[in-house]
Every structure is written in structure tokens, then in C-alpha cells.
Amino acid sequence: MGAGRHGRMRGRRSGRSLPVLAGVGAASVTMAMLGFCSVDAPADQAGRPLADTSTGAPARGDAPRGRAPGGTARAAGHAWPVTAARVPWEGGPAYYGRFAAPTAAGWTKPSFFPVGVWFESVISQADVNRDRAAGINTYVELTETSDMALVRKNGMSALTNVPLPGYGSETVGWLLDDEVDMWAKAGDAGWTGNHPGEGPLCVPEDQGCGFTVLRAQQDRLPKGDGRLHYANYGKGVMMWEKDADAAAFVNRFTDAVSADVYWYTSASACLDGQNFLALPVARCRRAANYGAVIDRQRELDALDGRRQPIYGFVEVGWPAENDTRAIRPEQVTGAVMNSLIHEARGIVYFNHNFGGPCHSQHVLREGCGKAVRPAVAEINRRIRKLAPVLNTQSYAHRFGPGLDTMLKYHRGSYYVFAMPGGKAAPGRRTFTLPRGTRATRAEVLFENRTLRVDGKGRFTDSFAAEHSHHIYRITP
């Protein structure tokens, strides 16, 4: 791998966090804002969803602009969806139609859902084969030694920090500097051009220069080339910064965005969550918190009246040197599913082990990922199969207490994605379908079983653990 460039990025992605300092830029965040409640929209006492007044959002960046489909979109062919409220969104695959490069790469197709891996190298066909077999279709950053023609030949997409040698149609977007909110902080002070470990960062040193860094990144990239701008943030946006500054990071610079908090593995995430979010330590290492990261970004993203795709970010190993554990396979799939339930429009896997007994920069390719790779490949297979469903606008409905759910309607069937909520214990849950839904059974996808729906539109199922999840297809 490219030693110089990779060494710099490794320092920025090592998973180390800044110290928790009481009163320093703590965000005015409520637990409700972070999604520690059902993702379903409010409903009246009869279970009917309340009115949705959301509207679509114009695209960002240099691409041609338009308007995304609004929250009042209607499905045809069935009585119930015609009158149901929708969950706000940016427009699904149609959003990418404003950018020439992702359009040409097939990102506007309902069958495409971005599944990326962080900072890989593509040197040989075997590299691509391993990644594709794991369900990866996008590289979110690549080493300078990567063969872009090989990426292109295999129909893979890439978002890179700089134009790499030989780049072309495979490069659908540009990655701005990673976790700027953490290492440069919010502010417009001068930037030295350094990254962590290279010397002073901001001028003056006691002020933040994160906004300056991102502007500088944008200025050095090609202009008007039809590629979107993407950034990944961290605990600054999620916890440390005031809402106005966190919103500035999310809204000023990007056409797609993500944030990483490794709840299952980070040595400091639980302490930060307790200090900044009043999140009890007992509820820290849960899949529901990955969905909460999506919720936080959606709240911030909506503040400017424009929406963009928000991607989930999930670790697949033992990210940082000071972490004390690796993520388990079932936790990976739980984190991915909860991100999707909370309206993630793509998934990115952090593919590096800087801690633990097995160091690797290619966890999903090498022996370090032997335990987790089958689970990752399976959840990605399900994402690929359900992409046309995931790429539709969700409906707002409260199915019952203690549940995180997402409701879709596609080609005559309802799809219910469900998990225990952030405050809920595992166990049995009863689902109540929307009024007017005429169904007698719910098919549990990928589990070879069905459940009876009673005359009042209810069915019951069990969730063995906090990371357990089920997907139901209900055809009236």
C-alpha cells in the first residue's frame, strides 16, 4: 500500500478520540433527537399516522440541480398507501441523477444500493474478486497504488480523496478529508495544511479550522465534473460540537455524508456517550446506537431544508489500538440493519484492525476477518436482493412499543424491517399493521417461516437479542 499517503490516513483513522472535556463545545442534543425511541413517526390513538408535511430537497454541489420527490408522494394500486404519510427523504436513487458520474455508473437504478469498504487497495483481480464476493460494490478511498482501470473494468465504483492515476468513470465522487470535525474542530481559522501527527494544525492553534480545511479540500478538486462530494465525520458532529457547528459540517460541504462511532468496539464511545448524551453505559454497546448516528445526521441535515443521502458506517474488526474487543458477526449485521431501519442510504465498512491480536488493513479479505466475513457477505446479499425495496420512500407507522421499524411498499407487498428499540429488552413483540391492511400471514424473509396475522391485523414474533432483526413481507 502507498506508504506515504496511507500512513497519513492511518493516523487520521486510527479510532483514537479526543479527551472528554466538560463544557467544551458539547452539543445541545436530546436523546429523542438521537433516535433513542421508535423510529416510527407519531400516530394517533387509533394507530393512524399523523400528517406528514415534509418536502423534498434540492441537490448540493456543482451538479445540475432539481427537486427530490416530496413527502407527499403516493403509491398507486392499493387503498392504504395512497393516504399514508411518508418518511422524509432525499429522493432515493433519483438523487444521483443530478450528478453525471454516478448516473453513468448506474447509481440511479433502483437495483443499486451503495455498499462500500473504507480505504482499500486494488492491485490484482483477486482483490476485486474477494471484495465482490463479500458484496462490496464501492471503494470509499483507495491507495495511490490502486489500479483504477481494474476497478473500472469490474464495474466497481470509487470515491477518492484525490484524482488517482488512471481514474475515469469508476470515480463517482470525491472524498473530503476524514473526521475533520474531530481533528480540526469547527471554525474558520487558518489551516497549516498539516494533518494529525504532522505538526500544528490551525492558525492560531487554539481555534478551530475545520471549515477552512473542507473549503481547501473542495478548492483543489476538479470543478463541475459531475462528481459528488462526500465526507465522513465522527464524534465532533455526533457529540462534541454545538448544533449550529455540527449542522455546518453536515450541510455546507457535501452531497452525501456519514459519521462513525464504533459503539460495539470503541474504548471511549461509552464514556463519551454518557458524558455528552446522557446515554447509560448499560445501553452503549447496542445496534440501536448505530441507527441513532443516522438519526442525528438526519436531524442536522434537515435544518437547511435540503436533504442528502446519509450512509451508515460499521466496523468489521478491532479498529483502534486502545480498544479491548472486536465486533462479533451478529453485531455487525445488527448494526447494519439498524442503520437501514433509520434510513441509511448506503453502508460503509471500516476494514482495518489497528488493535487486537490480528492486525490487518484488509479485514474482509484476510484471515483476520474469517469469523465476520460470512455474516458481512450474507447481509450484503440481502441488501442487494432488497435494493428495489430499500430504494423506495418509507411510510410512517407505529407498529407497537419497544420496536425500531421501517415500513416499505413495493409491487403489491408491504415490507417491515424490525428490531428491538434502543431502550427495549429482547423478547416477544406484537406488531399492529396499518388500518385497512387485509392480510392473513407475514412471510419472514430469509428464515423460511411464516406468521399468522389475526383479524385485527396483528402478529407476534420474538427477538432473542438486542441485535436480532427480522424482515417481513406481507402481501394482502
The answer to whether the CB of 430 falls within 8 A of the CB of 403 is no
Per-residue pLDDT reduced to its tens digit, 173-193? 999 999 999 999 999 999 999
pLDDT of 79 higher than 90: no
Taking the model in full, what pTM does it have? 0.86
pLDDT band at 378 (very low <50, low <70, confident <90, very high): very high
Residue (of 381, 254, 378) closest to 311 by Cα position: 254
Q: Which residue has the cell 492511518?
A: 10
> Burial of 110 by CB count in 10 Å (0-12 exposed, 13-18 middle, 19+ buried)?
middle
The two counts, helices (H) then strands (E), for the chain are 13, 17
Sequence-separated (6 or more) residues with CB below 8 Å from residue 439: 414, 433, 453, 457, 474, 475, 476
What is the DSSP-derived secondary structure letter of residue 365? T
Distance of alpha carbon 240 from alpha carbon 245, whole angstroms: 10
Rounded Cα distance, 338 and 292, in Å: 9
Residue pLDDT, tens place only, 274-291: 999 999 999 999 999 999
Q: Which CA distances in Å does 44 have to 47, 49, 51, 159? A: 5, 6, 10, 43
Mean pLDDT over each residue of the chain, to the nearest integer: 86
Task: Kindly list the structural domains of the chain, giving each domain's residue range(s) and its CATH number in brackets, ordered by start.
Answer: 3-36+92-390 (3.20.20), 395-474 (2.60.40.1180)
SS3 423: coil
What confidence tier does 402 reach under pLDDT thresholds 50, 70, 90? very high
405: β partners: 418
pLDDT in tens, 416-461: 999 999 999 999 999 999 988 889 999 999 999 999 999 999 999 9
**What order do you get walking across the sheet with 441-444 strand by strand?**
403-410, 413-420, 470-474, 441-444, 449-452
Scan for cell 418536502, then name that residue: 55
Q: What is the pLDDT of residues 293-305, one digit of tens each?
A: 999 999 999 999 9
